[in-house]
């Protein structure tokens, strides 16, 4: 594959943008590649500036659940832009989208729109702290909740990829109230709750972790968290930035049948435009300014483009529930196909799949938390990534990111992917 134009653009971008990229994970540094510069995308495919076509399994890190360039969204974008781009004032779509989210999500009475997943989790923590009048929070090792200071502790995603799970520039004082527990280990949470019975404002978790590879929470673990939060009067926050409206229309809360006190959403609720939202019980959300005293604001929050596309997408997903069954079927098809290949080749690796999210972990250790994720081979992942990349299959360039499926992916395309995975596993085996 020729990447000449991407190479030239990357060299220029490095002059003006740190590392040439606007988010670290897309640097491809972890797999010893240069970033791919995209020209356009359509359906399941993404096309780079050099004219190479890739089956896209990044899907803009989740939101392109219908594939790229879906006519509903493209037409909707044209229509809404003709009316105006931004007003910094209220529009009818804001109410429409808020109602769609509240109707879809267990226990969600009110929701506030923001501009990113980072803003959503950062704000949810502030509201939980203000509501409980407590400072400490619990997060889980390997979970990523965006890059706000108090949550950038033992984080997943790009923070793990680049070896900075706790970033320089985050003062000790800012994270002294962030307590980190082990994913899927209720005893570790109980211990902290018992140590600080009146101090834990919130427990925040990715109910299916998607930022240390896909690691689902055990249902009993989530139920246990719910019970502990009830017992100690802490706010349980589900970070559904990846899982919301993807795992199921009602997100992981619906998938597990567990109701958190608050939840955070991102990208998918704006169909891929910059957006986020946090919400929850009325009692908690009534504390948010101007209803209550806890301040949170945003010039572009609820911007008309994201709100309009969000309503179109969520309305569509609501009226096409079979889409979730089909996505899960495709995920399962890929998982069983990979497992069959692993068995044939005598390789002991782990495949995790949850609906339309999938990860192949290059380890013989069963995985339920970040401790086990750490046993995976980066070299094997790099070989695997490169083989597929050369065959026109685009995975996230990091072992810690999920493989995302969309409605646009066909069974035939998945068969092609399985053929190429067979090739990649042969190379991995020879390492």
Ligand X SMILES: Cc1ncc(COP(=O)(O)O)c(C=O)c1O
Ligand Y SMILES: N[C@H](C=O)CCC(=O)O
User: Hey, what's the torsion of the CAs at 192, 402, 222, 149, to 10 degrees?
Assistant: 30
DSSP 3-state of 201: strand
Cis peptide before 274 (omega within 30 of 0): no
How many Å apart are CA 287 and CA 195, to the nearest integer? 28
Closest CA to 267 of 400, 404, 109: 404
Shortest Cβ 242–ligand X spacing (Å): 5
Which listed residue (3, 9, 20, 25) binds ligand Y by CB under 6 A? 25
Per the annotation, the verdict on 239 as an active-site residue is: yes
User: Rule CB under 6 A: is residue 349 a binding residue for ligand Y?
Assistant: no
Contact present, 318 and 104 (Cβ < 8 Å): yes
Q: Is 65 in the site for ligand Y (CB under 6 A)?
A: no
**CB nearer to ligand Y: pick between 116 and 132:** 116
Q: Residues near 2 by Cβ (< 8 Å), separated by ≥ 6?
A: 50, 52
Q: How far apart are CA 364 and CA 375, in angstroms?
A: 8
Please identify which of the residues 136, 267, 330, 420 carries the catalytic annotation. Answer: 267
Please give the span between the terminal C-alpha atoms of the chain, in angstroms, as a whole number: 23
Point out which span in 21-29, 72-80, 298-306, 308-316 binds ligand Y (CB under 6 A): 21-29
Q: Toward ligand Y, which CB reaches closer, 204 or 285?
A: 204
Q: Applying CB under 6 A, what is the total number of residues that bind ligand Y?
A: 10
- Identify which range of 23-31, 198-206, 295-303, 419-427 contacts ligand Y by CB under 6 A: 23-31
Q: Pick from ligand X, ligand Y, none: which does 25 bind, CB < 5 to 8 A by kind? A: ligand Y
Q: Which residue of the chain is nearest ligand X when measured via CB?
A: 117
Contact residues: ligand X, CB under 6 A: 116-118, 121, 144-146, 206, 210-211, 239, 241-242, 266-267, 276
Residue selected from 157, 234, 254, 301 as contacting ligand Y according to rule CB under 6 A = 157
401 contacts ligand Y (rule: CB under 6 A)? yes
Residue pair 57/395 in contact by the 8 Å Cβ criterion: yes
The CA-atom distances, in angstroms, between 312 and each of 44, 69, 79, 235 are 20, 14, 12, 31
Active-site residue, from 54, 144, 256, 324:
144
**Shortest distance in whole angstroms from residue 360 CB to ligand Y:** 17
**Interface characters, 203-222, with ligand Y (x: CB under 6 A):** --------x-----------
Q: Please choose which of ligand X, ligand Y, none residue 56 contacts, taking the beta carbon within 5 to 8 angstroms, the exact cut-off set by kind.
A: none
155 contact, one of ligand Y, ligand X, none, CB 5-8 Å limit per kind:
none
Instruction: Considering only the C-alpha atoms of the chain, give the largest distance between any 2 of them, rounded to a whole number of Å.
Output: 62
Residue 123's nearest CA partner among 4, 325, 288 is 288
Q: Does 314 bind ligand Y (CB under 6 A)?
A: no
- Minimum distance of ligand Y from residue 36's CB (angstroms): 14
Q: CB count, 10 Å around CB of 340?
A: 12
- Residue closer to ligand X, measured from CB, 121 or 406: 121
- Please tell me whether residue 97 binds ligand Y under the rule CB under 6 A: no
Of 107-146, which residues contact ligand Y (CB under 6 A)? 144
User: What's the CA angle centered on 356, arms 365 and 115, to 5 degrees?
Assistant: 105
Closer to ligand X by CB, 30 or 116: give it: 116
83 annotated active-site = no
- Beta-carbon-side half-sphere exposure of residue 300 (alpha carbons within 13 Å): 11
Name the residue with tokens 């018992």.
194
Site string for ligand Y, 230-269 (x = CB under 6 A): ------------x---------------------------
Q: Alpha-carbon distance 152 to 293, whole Å?
A: 26
Residues near ligand Y, by CB under 6 A: 23, 25-26, 61, 144, 157-158, 211, 242, 401
Catalytic residues: 144, 239, 267
């Amino acid at each position: 594959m020729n990447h000449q134009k991407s190479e030239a653009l990357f060299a220029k971008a490095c002059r003006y943008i740190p590392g040439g990229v606007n988010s670290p994970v897309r640097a491809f540094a972890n797999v010893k590649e240069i970033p791919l510069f995209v020209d356009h995308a359509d359906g399941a495919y993404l096309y780079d500036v050099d004219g190479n076509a890739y089956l896209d399994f990044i899907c803009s890190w989740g939101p392109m659940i219908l594939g790229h360039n879906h006519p509903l969204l493209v037409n909707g974008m044209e229509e809404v832009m003709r009316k105006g781009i931004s007003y910094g004032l209220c529009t009818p779509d804001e109410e429409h989208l808020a109602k769609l989210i509240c109707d879809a999500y267990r226990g969600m009475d009110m929701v506030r729109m923001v501009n990113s997943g980072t803003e959503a989790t950062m704000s949810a923590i502030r509201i939980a702290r203000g509501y409980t009048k407590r400072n400490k929070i619990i997060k889980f090792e390997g979970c990523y909740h965006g890059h706000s200071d108090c949550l950038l502790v033992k984080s997943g995603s790009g923070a793990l990829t680049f070896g900075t799970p706790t970033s320089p520039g985050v003062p000790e004082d800012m994270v002294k109230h962030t307590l980190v527990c082990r994913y899927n280990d209720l005893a570790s949470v109980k211990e902290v709750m018992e140590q600080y019975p009146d101090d834990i404002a919130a427990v925040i978790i990715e109910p299916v972790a998607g930022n240390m590879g896909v690691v689902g929470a055990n249902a009993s673990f989530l139920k246990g968290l719910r019970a502990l939060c009830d017992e100690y009067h802490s706010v349980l926050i589900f970070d559904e930035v990846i899982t919301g409206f993807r795992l199921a229309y009602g997100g992981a809360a619906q998938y597990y049948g567990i109701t958190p006190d608050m939840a955070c959403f991102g990208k998918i609720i704006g169909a891929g435009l910059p957006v986020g939202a946090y919400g929850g019980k009325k009692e908690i959300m009534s504390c948010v300014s101007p209803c209550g005293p806890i301040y949170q604001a945003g010039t572009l929050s609820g911007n008309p483009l994201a709100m309009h596309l969000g309503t179109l997408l969520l309305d569509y997903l609501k009226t096409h529930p079979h889409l979730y069954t089909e996505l899960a079927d495709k995920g399962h098809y890929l998982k069983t196909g990979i497992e069959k290949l692993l068995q044939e080749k005598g390789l002991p690796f782990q495949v995790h799949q949850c609906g339309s999210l999938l990860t192949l972990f290059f380890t013989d250790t069963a995985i339920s938390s970040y401790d086990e994720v750490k046993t995976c081979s980066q070299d094997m992942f790099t070989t695997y990534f490169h083989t597929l990349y050369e065959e026109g299959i685009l995975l996230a360039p990091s072992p810690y990111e999920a493989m995302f499926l969309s409605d646009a992916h066909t069974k035939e395309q998945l068969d092609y992917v399985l053929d190429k995975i067979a090739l990649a596993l042969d190379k991995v085996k020879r390492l």
